[in-house]
Amino acid sequence: MHNIKDIRDNIDNFEKSLLKRNIKIEKANIGNLDKENRKLIQDKELLEKEKKNISKTKDQNLFEKSKEISKKIEKLSRDQSEIKIKLDTILSSLPNIPLDDVPVGKDENSNVEIKKFGEIKKFDFKPKPHFELGNSLNMLDFDLATKTTGSRFVFVKNQLALLERALSNFMLDTHINKNNYLEISPPLIANENTMYGTGQLPKFENDQFELVLDDKNDRKFLIPTAEVILTNMVKDKILQVKDLPLRFVASTPCFRKEAGSYGKDTKGMIRQHQFYKVELVSIVEPNNCNDELERMTNCATNILDLLKLPYRKMLLCTGDMGFSAEKTYDIEVWIPSENKYREISSCSSCSSFQARRMKARYKNSKNETNFVGTLNGSGLAVGRTMIAILENYQQSDGSIKVPDVLKPYMNNMEKIHNN
RNA sequence: GGAGAGAUGGCUGAGCGGUUGAAAGCACCGGUCUUGAAAACCGGCAAAGGGGCAACUCUUUCCUGGGUUCGAAUCCCAGUCUCUCCGCCA
């Protein structure tokens, strides 16, 4: 959510910044609504003051007049709230402003590669895609999931289920013990206000799985990412500066409708309606957003370093960033069967954009109340990490070598194989 | 599912129709004292919104939404959440 005051003072810059994201704002409309809103507030406050004075005098002769004023106030405040709702509807659907160092572009083709890491393994056989490997191991079953549930779900069995669990635990332990994140096991369901806070609502309702409840006013959603619930842990709070930064980590299932991605990544478990993800969330002083973004991204890539998986770090362009982000790094891991890099983590700074929606504030060293900065990043997407391990660690016989760092989590198993 | 109790500022907690935006304590900030710190003492300290270059000023807010009243944190109604007891249950 943007601060209308900032927009008012600088509407041309605001327009320009959003244009970088291909968003055209109706400048005149916003300006008029804002003016109208303030006019009505002023009129209303004048009457309120008058009314207040009458009741202070306790003069019975003026009581009738006070009643009349009440009616006028009622009307004004109805009009005003209507205008305010219109204005807020517009403002709440506008994405965050990109930072200056974010490249401008309309889609992922304009993303900028920062650096490649790790070595791409040369296979002396044709590397198989993960779903073939999983299928022949009898440890990934997509057909069964289709039968029980529907498309874009999967049964993970046997040692791959262990691998999935091992990955979660390995990532969690690393972030908790090495990177100083606080482990959280959060609710997987969020209410409407929470979803609004991080920016999933109102604009992206179609991507969410909503629960069917008896009470239509009580709306609840399966979380599309733990970012939603972890970031909202500071909703409606006024924190002390000494409490910051807060760093949370959770491994949770994530649920996404993937609306509009028909025909995209239909094979395998690249794009699923449900997947595990280890999520990092930081709550910081707004000035520290940039440093924290670098730190967080390093925490994420550190996992790939330890797993010895090749990857590259991308700086997303304006057109490819998420709604709430001011700057985003994607980490892409090497997928041998596709002969390309695929997103495995996305780390974003959201400045005070989400904080303003959540009313998450802190008192700075001067004792002034201010909105916090929020960041979120995957550290990492567990399902896609499993894909990367299957493909990068595959052997010619279809077995999968277990990465060294995971062995302690998998009964010191050397290889995942069929019998 | 049944029966009660409650929801007040960053936190704890008074107030139960008229200078109450709200006592007190804690926390926090500034100062005195101290070599420094602690303690003690003095002072300050809610948020949101509007107006003003500013000093400042106005309005709203005591869970949410309605209602009663000239006037509501205080009374009435509905809802949400929390706690206790009983029942049921992973």
Residue A116 shares a structural domain with residue A87: no
Among the three residues A32, A60, A92, which one is the final residue of a domain in this structure? A92
Spatial separation of the C-alpha atoms in residues A174 and A185, rounded to whole Å: 16
Residue A66 shares a structural domain with residue A168: no
**A237 φ, ψ (degrees, to nearest 5):** -105, 155
Residue A74 shares a structural domain with residue A157: no
Provide the domain limits for residue A31.
Answer: 4-92
**A101 domain-assigned:** no
Residue A292 shares a structural domain with residue A325: yes
pLDDT tens for each residue of A276-294: 999 999 999 999 999 999 9
pLDDT, average across residues A81-97: 92
Query: Please, what's the largest Cα pairwise distance for chain A?
Result: 99
pLDDT of residue A307: 98
User: What percent of chain A is helix, strand and coil (3-state, nearest 5)?
Assistant: 45, 20, 35
Residue A122 shares a structural domain with residue A86: no
Number of structural domains, chain A? 2
The DSSP 8-state label assigned to residue A266 in this structure reads -
Spatial separation of the C-alpha atoms in residues A77 and A71, rounded to whole Å: 10
Asked if residue A98 has a cis previous peptide bond (ω within 30° of 0), the answer is no
pLDDT, average across residues A224-235: 95
Residue A38 shares a structural domain with residue A133: no
Residue nearest to nucleotide B59 (CA to C1'): A45
Residue A214: pLDDT band (50, 70, 90) is confident
**A348 φ, ψ (degrees, to nearest 5):** -130, 140
Q: Check: CB of residue A389 under 8 Å from CB of residue A163.
A: yes
pLDDT of residue A326: 97
Predicted-complex ipTM score = 0.86
Residue A41 shares a structural domain with residue A87: yes
Residue A254 shares a structural domain with residue A300: yes
Among the three residues A34, A66, A92, which one is the final residue of a domain in this structure? A92
pLDDT at A111 over 90: yes
Q: In the block, which residue shows the tokens 């605001």? A: A14
CA of A363 to C1' of B41 (A): 27
Q: Which nucleotides of B are covered by protein (CB under 7 A)?
A: 9-10, 18, 27-29, 44-51, 58-60, 70-71, 80
pLDDT tens for each residue of A115-131: 999 999 999 999 999 99
pLDDT of residue A259: 81
Q: Check: CB of residue A199 under 8 Å from CB of residue A353.
A: yes
Residue A10: pLDDT band (50, 70, 90) is confident
**A97 domain-assigned:** no
**A100 domain-assigned:** no
Percent pLDDT > 90 in chain A is: 79
pLDDT of residue A343: 97
Residue A340 shares a structural domain with residue A391: yes
Residue A255 shares a structural domain with residue A399: yes
Among the three residues A68, A92, A116, which one is the final residue of a domain in this structure? A92
Closest CA to A223 of A247, A195, A203: A195
**A102 domain-assigned:** no
What CATH number has the domain bearing residue A335? Answer: 3.30.930.10
pLDDT tens for each residue of A133-168: 999 999 999 999 999 999 999 999 999 999 999 999
Closest CA to A358 of A185, A225, A201, A252: A201
pLDDT tens for each residue of A186-204: 999 999 999 999 999 988 9
Strand nucleotide closest to residue A240 (CA to C1') = B10
CA of A5 to C1' of B69 (A): 37
Residue A268 shares a structural domain with residue A236: yes
pLDDT of residue A384: 97
Residue A145 shares a structural domain with residue A13: no
**A254 domain-assigned:** yes
Residue A323 C-beta-side C-alpha neighbours within 13 Å: 19
pLDDT at A271 over 90: yes
